[in-house]
Structure 1
């Protein structure tokens, strides 16, 4: 107890941000030593809240005023220098996951986004590797990961558009981080149930900025293994931690390409991205069981297509025969069918595949989709 008191009293004598820098070294000793305890972890969490993020005072009460913009920038710089010099990947990830845990991330997301934005800009492979492990452990499609990804998009595709060459080179810095980042990005667009980000309005499709679309297309076109990279290399985690399986961005990005025609998003990048995704899927190594594309994720394109058909029928009073021959609808269905066909051909689909094939029956007629349905029906009969 006296050691804990002495430690805190010593740090309180230091001005911010020096106390934050010193606290990080103490935190590492507490949670990364060979012998750890609940007491050490609790003390480390106290140090984070009081001396690193300046969230509570010496009595543990929430501060009326958090970090000033200047203090936040000072902290981001300290975090960058600290993590970029840590040689132990296990220790680095242990501290990172503790600083930005699922229970504290809401109040620390702004610092995290600026910190990783700096890790992209300078850049730092070590920091992005830890950020990748963090996204994977919290879930790369989770609300926190999606908010984090949106923050980086704001930085590099809205605020600092002249610095896009930095993020264009992202796969060269960290392939695994880019893959997890892509999965979160895919969730943020062409998604009506936008509870995942606070910056995007609900019940409305949001389309990716053109420069982001171009960058994503370039990434995947240049590296067919990018989409599954996060599944190929396991992060080094703290002892006893259970590694979470990464969700690939394939289904989410395919949804962009499938729905783009019916929402009059006619950028040629959607065609290029669709082709790049199909090429990537063809290169997926066989795994048992399959883990690259979830069948349930693919079904998320069905309702928007049906809504499009109903809108044409009700608002424009078109006959169903006219609607079926709509070029935009048929292109959308062609892309959907091509995706299912290629994914099935390399046995990369997992989950409720029967449900997917059952649901696509309610879609308007499309020649290729009809062939896929018949092939699946025959396969099931043979089995």
Structure 2
């Protein structure tokens, strides 16, 4: 078949019924994509085979199919994809095929198959498949819409529909640390992120428990995705992973402002501080961005403005005393100050530091935050 032309390859595979045609097509796709220097012609052929013979999105004329895969077809396809990826031991080849199957332009359309595939890989588990999924999240952006959609589906599978399976996930950071780290980054952007939303969404308690356990017991987990260089196909540019540290700190910092007083937030906060302390200083730093570390800023300011309108404006009272008596606000600011101080102490923050501290100066009065800012000013 290697000597056949593109149309001949397609016609040969079309003679097979589904799912056999998909099983043979994925093998051919691997051969086309994993050549030392795959040509554009080979890449185009591989993409056509995916769309027509694997995912059945188009017919032989290239027209969109009106009917989608049946439940049985999906199940058979999942088995084919899993077996192929799990048996492909060459990391570069496996990643190349995975990235092509769920490229940026097709990932959302194929998200249902992708999420089920990764859910199966977590349940079995299959570390190599999860590692390719981690590379996919990183290349598309682990805070991207695609990554967040995958995270939502996995949360639904393991924390909402099957809460009894949560204890089984305790080993996930050991089995697939890079995937878990990128998964955490995606998750962190799903909750306490009320931008352009009418209300704030809180993480399910069993999800919060699992994440707290993961972070507390694995101090290096949050930077795991930055510790390993993925093997990518020729010409691909490796994308930097965004750590989940700032996103999860946002949870612990703003939780008191939303009357979320579970002790798990305090434990998660402590686990994150310990994780930061374990980061090895490098030049230039790349663990935490100032832009990401400013996530709680707007939420705290909005809370403060509403608090002023409710309790301070229109009457003559000791405003500083009133602020000091707001336990939730002060706890939020204390946690923020702690995180900033610990991160600065090991030089793992990057970005515009002057703008960062200017923004912090606009926050309500807090003794610990004042000390942190004064120390930074003296050390400049």
Report the TM range for the smaller structure's normalisation. over 0.9
Residue 199 (structure 1) aligns with: none
Residue 340 (structure 1) aligns with: 340
Give the Cα–Cα distance (whole angstroms) in 1 for the partners of residues 374 and 6 of structure 2: 69
Give the Cα–Cα distance (whole angstroms) in 1 for the partners of residues 127 and 31 of structure 2: 23
Residue 122 (structure 2) aligns with: 120
The equivalent position to 2:20 in structure 1, one of 15, 18, 22, is: 18
Residue 197 (structure 1) aligns with: none
Give the Cα–Cα distance (whole angstroms) in 2 for the partners of residues 316 and 269 of structure 1: 30
Give the Cα–Cα distance (whole angstroms) in 2 for the partners of residues 35 and 221 of structure 1: 44
Alignment of 1:136-285 (within 5 A): 136-193=138-195, 202-285=197-280
C-alpha displacement at 1:2, in angstroms? 6.1
For the Cα contact (< 8 Å) 1:290–1:347, is it kept in 2? yes
For the Cα contact (< 8 Å) 1:120–1:166, is it kept in 2? no
C-alpha displacement at 1:358, in angstroms? 0.6
For the Cα contact (< 8 Å) 1:227–1:248, is it kept in 2? yes
Residue 362 (structure 2) aligns with: 362
User: What stretches of structure 2 of length at least 5 have no aligned partner?
Assistant: none
Give the Cα–Cα distance (whole angstroms) in 1 for the partners of residues 333 and 344 of structure 2: 16
For the Cα contact (< 8 Å) 2:58–2:65, is it kept in 1? yes
TM superposition score normalised by structure 1:
0.95
Q: Does 74-83 or 272-281 show the bigger shift?
A: 74-83
- 3-state DSSP of counterpart to 2:136: helix
Give the Cα–Cα distance (whole angstroms) in 2 for the partners of residues 224 and 304 of structure 1: 28
Going from structure 1 to structure 2, the CA distance change for 1:341 and 1:35 (only over 3 Å counts) comes to closer
Matched, 1:309 2:304: yes
Which digits, 9 at most, give the CA deviation of each residue in 1:3-33, with x for residues without a partner? 2222111211111111111100000011102
For the Cα contact (< 8 Å) 2:37–2:234, is it kept in 1? no
Which digits, 9 at most, give the CA deviation of each residue in 1:290-327, with x for residues without a partner? 00000111111111111111222224567644234200
Residue 57 (structure 1) aligns with: 59
Give the Cα–Cα distance (whole angstroms) in 2 for the partners of residues 96 and 137 of structure 1: 11
Give the Cα–Cα distance (whole angstroms) in 2 for the partners of residues 74 and 96 of structure 1: 18
Give the Cα–Cα distance (whole angstroms) in 2 for the partners of residues 160 and 16 of structure 1: 31
Residue 371 (structure 1) aligns with: 371
For the Cα contact (< 8 Å) 2:32–2:46, is it kept in 1? yes
C-alpha displacement at 1:114, in angstroms? 0.3
For the Cα contact (< 8 Å) 2:191–2:201, is it kept in 1? yes
Give the Cα–Cα distance (whole angstroms) in 1 for the partners of residues 4 and 178 of structure 2: 43
Cα RMSD of the aligned pairs, angstroms, is: 1.4
The alignment covers a number of residue pairs equal to: 373
Give the Cα–Cα distance (whole angstroms) in 2 for the partners of residues 312 and 378 of structure 1: 32
For the Cα contact (< 8 Å) 1:136–1:245, is it kept in 2? yes
C-alpha displacement at 1:143, in angstroms? 1.2
The equivalent position to 2:43 in structure 1, one of 41, 44, 56, is: 41
- 3-state DSSP of counterpart to 1:241: coil
- 3-state DSSP of counterpart to 2:192: coil
Give the Cα–Cα distance (whole angstroms) in 1 for the partners of residues 275 and 4 of structure 2: 58
C-alpha displacement at 1:340, in angstroms? 0.3
For the Cα contact (< 8 Å) 1:309–1:323, is it kept in 2? no
Give the Cα–Cα distance (whole angstroms) in 2 for the partners of residues 78 and 173 of structure 1: 23
- 3-state DSSP of counterpart to 2:336: helix
Alignment of 1:78-97 (within 5 A): 78-97=80-99
Q: Does 306-315 or 177-186 show the bigger shift?
A: 306-315
